[in-house]
Structure 1
Amino acid sequence: MNSMKTLGMTLVFVASSLVNVLAGNVESKFAYNVEKNGEQVTSQTVYHVEEGKYLKQHLKYEFHYDAANRLTQKEAWKWNVDAQAYERYYCLNYHYADDEVTMEYALWNEKTHAFDAAKEKAVYQLEAGNVNYFAFEWNQHLQDWNLMVSHDTWAAQEVQLLAEK
């Protein structure tokens, strides 16, 4: 069970880092304020750094955990300049099974004042020390998930080993 907690937290931090790198945020364009309850991060406020010294509200995240201290939900809020307040933006829900973590993405719906049903999800499977990744998108017409991307690290490792021979 400890490996699932580690896998879940590792995936969260890897995904966050990858998003920052892909968005060009390698430099210190953002400043972070983290609130913790013991070792658990309960919230994180992200400020955009302007002119290298001014902080402008940007995003806020709230984190929720289960009894096993695994991340179950990450809710994102975006800053509304006109209202001078944070507004709900999206939510990531994490579900755990044997050697598998599913992460579902849902947007906030202003009309219903609730999160919509998940339209995208990612599944991470831990198999023999390797992580396999699958990305799905909801197909409204078929009422089923369409596989959009899959990445099998075990197969990639085998190809690399064969190339080295």
Structure 2
Amino acid sequence: MGTVERHQAPEDGAAARSTVRRISGAPDHDTRAEGSVARAAPAQPRYRPLWVEEPARHRRMPDPVRAAAVRAVLVVAVTLILAMVAFLCTLAGSWLAFPMTLGTVAGTVLATWGVLDVWVTRQVWNQRNGVVSVPSSTARALRRERRRTRRQERGAEGRQDRIRRGSGTGQLSHP
């Protein structure tokens, strides 16, 4: 486990030469010119993890949407199996070819329904629970700007009301 040797034949047909490449962390087993062997300290084995945890790129699907997707995948898988069996029965000339073909047609209808179910369930879930807003969303920036404008208008109206109430016009005396 110390060195990796790669033998290359030269173009002129001379004897093969070896190129030695060091692996990091591997013990050194070189032979010196004088014939003495270099002693290396016993290397501790470096353990690398088998995998590195990475954050998910997408958020997890909501439970109802995931359940609909699992149903759709199962129906599509069964439909594909039915289609394969129908095809093989047709090639074999079996009497099961016709019932399997009818099952495949029914499975195709169910698979279409399953895929539409996933789409509708996702749309309903988004409508009921809201869509996660992205911080750089233009809609969020527009809402923030509208809120700021409304606050400024309310502040200006409040100051006008205070000025009108506090000026004392129309009052003859103070109690």
State the TM bucket, normalised to the shorter chain.
under 0.3
The structure whose residues are more often helix, as a share, is 2
Query: Which structure would you say has the larger RCO, counting Cα contacts within 8 Å and 6 or more residues apart?
Result: 2
Look at both structures and tell me which one has the larger radius of gyration over its CA atoms.
2
